[in-house]
Chain A
Amino acid sequence: MQVEYRSTKIGLGLGNLVFDRGVYDPQGNNTGGGAMQAAGITAGAVGLAGDIGSYSTASFRLTNGAYNGSSFSLRFYGSGWGGGSTAQITTYSLSNLGGGVSFGAGVIGTGLSYYQIANGGAEPMTYVDAGVGTAGIMTSVAGYYTGAQIPYVGEAVMVYGKGRLIWDVGFSWS
């Protein structure tokens, strides 16, 4: 017999991801949840990094351009340089990347929450996470379609996500 602890969730900047604290046998031995816990914490950190990245104006490159042989050459541009030049360097916006990551994390988190609600497995915190994730998605979508995010919502969601991340990581390791 296995007892599965399913209630620990991790809030991300633009949503939330659920991660398992572990799957335990009656003797209390973890029988496989460790990897999921690590994955959850990693997902949380990636989501939070995505949030922070979405507020940056910087850009980055992966290669040194077709003129130089397109070798791998990671470099960040704080000025947000758009690429081009003789070397034909392609740059990527950190804001676009961060926004995409955090939007994706929010979508995954709300999907998990809404499935739990539909399936009858929701807890009070599930609704909070669903609400925060929903608000995050709304501001991300507003950003995509209008070029301007809803004031204060993104920041509020980011603060919530950070608090939840710290609380969840601390709780899972305590």
Chain B
Amino acid sequence: MKNIYYLIWVDAILSFKKHNPRNKNWKWIVFFINTWMNALNFWVAFMITKYFTTLSLPLTNFNLFPGHLLDDFLNFTVSFASPFIVLNYFLIFHNDRYEKLIKKYGVQNIKYALIYSMTSTFGAFVVAILHGILTHTI
């Protein structure tokens, strides 16, 4: 049975390398894109849970820098992206595990990475708008 998580990763790596053959930073960029999509999905789950239930995961609230620019980004990264930074690194890039996964899954006919990325970003925006309407922020 194919694992959708690995299918997305393999398709992301192969698609990126196919269309950006000269880009030497492909590992960082693919890692960054997919981890950010994971974080957005986690944020969506957080927002839905927070709205419909009394359960609400605590957000980090670092206040290390003057102003809030760096603090807000740091808080989002720690709260929503950090679990996936660790997970994705060890499941995909540690010991070049992606090479074995590419051999196992190969080229896909379906654009898993693109569909996943588009769905994640658009879904997060829809949830943000709905949340704004329901809470009368907008």
Query: Which residues of chain A have a CB within 8 Å of any CB of chain B?
Result: 4, 6, 17-20, 23, 32-33, 35-36, 39-40, 82, 93, 96, 100, 107-108, 111-119, 122-124, 127, 130-131, 134, 137-138, 141-142, 144-147
Contact B66 A112 (CB under 8 A): no
* Contact string against A for B residues 95-138, beta-carbon threshold 8 Å, 1 for contact and 0 otherwise: 00000000000000001011001100110110011011000011
Known: A114-B76, A115-B79, A138-B122. A4 touches B137 (CB 8 A): no
Which 5 residue pairs of A and B lie closest in terms of their CB atoms, listed nearest first? A20-B67, A147-B19, A115-B76, A36-B67, A111-B76
B69 touches A118 (CB 8 A): no
Most chain B CB atoms below 10 A, which of A6, A96, A127, A141: A141
Sample (6) of A-B pairs whose CB atoms are under 8 Å apart: A17-B69, A20-B67, A32-B66, A137-B36, A141-B117, A141-B118
Given contacts A18-B69, A130-B128, 20 further A-B contacts (CB under 8 A): A4-B68, A36-B66, A36-B67, A93-B23, A107-B36, A111-B76, A114-B40, A114-B80, A115-B72, A117-B47, A117-B132, A118-B43, A118-B59, A134-B121, A138-B117, A138-B121, A141-B117, A144-B15, A145-B15, A147-B20
Enumerate chain A residues within 8 angstroms of B132, measured Cβ to Cβ.
117, 122, 124, 127
B20 touching A115 by the CB < 8 A rule?
no
Q: CA separation between A7 and B28, bound complex, in Å?
A: 32
With A33-B66, A107-B32, A144-B16: A127-B128 Cβ-Cβ less than 8 Å: yes
Q: Which residues of B contact A (CB under 8 A)?
A: 12, 15-16, 18-20, 22-23, 25, 29, 32-33, 36, 39-40, 43, 46-47, 50, 59, 61, 66-69, 72-73, 75-77, 79-80, 111, 113-114, 117-118, 121-122, 124-125, 128-129, 131-132, 137-138
